[in-house]
Amino acid sequence: MVNALLLLAVGLAAYWRSTELFPASSLTPADLFMQSVASADGGLGWSQLCPTLQSQLPRDVLEQHAMAQRALHAQQGVTLSIAHVGDRPRPTGGEIRFYVATAHGADGSTGQKAYVVSTQPSGCVESVTE
């Protein structure tokens, strides 16, 4: 279930990709995960996942999926920009972080989706929902 949810979230978000990502200073694992979605970098995204998720989702599966998305984006001329719009602490530690992804089509079209990334106290990504 978690695997399917993460693959779906990554797949949908990775559909839109961009070079306009986050400021280089003070990136959290959640920021880096969303950056990996925008750049279709499966290795970077996998590295931000909590160990429990890493054991359920093999790195090579995520990297292969990202590579396919990267090729599709290049073919279609689609880019994605990601904006962190807020965060809230979790009572048990960690955060819930909110992002807006904006897809930019080669034809000038745009679309947006919201993403919620939950982290554990250590900072690792525990879940991603849209």
Domains along the chain with CATH numbers: 2-129 (3.10.450)
Tell me what pLDDT residue 24 has.
Answer: 53
pLDDT, position 67: 93
pLDDT level of residue 69 (50, 70, 90 thresholds): confident
Determine the average pLDDT of the residues in 55-76.
Answer: 92
CA distance 8 to 14: 10
d(CA 83, CA 96): 15
Closest CA to 120 of 88, 86, 91, 95: 95
**For the chain, how big is the Rg over CA atoms in Å?**
14
pLDDT interval class at 18 (50, 70, 90)? very low
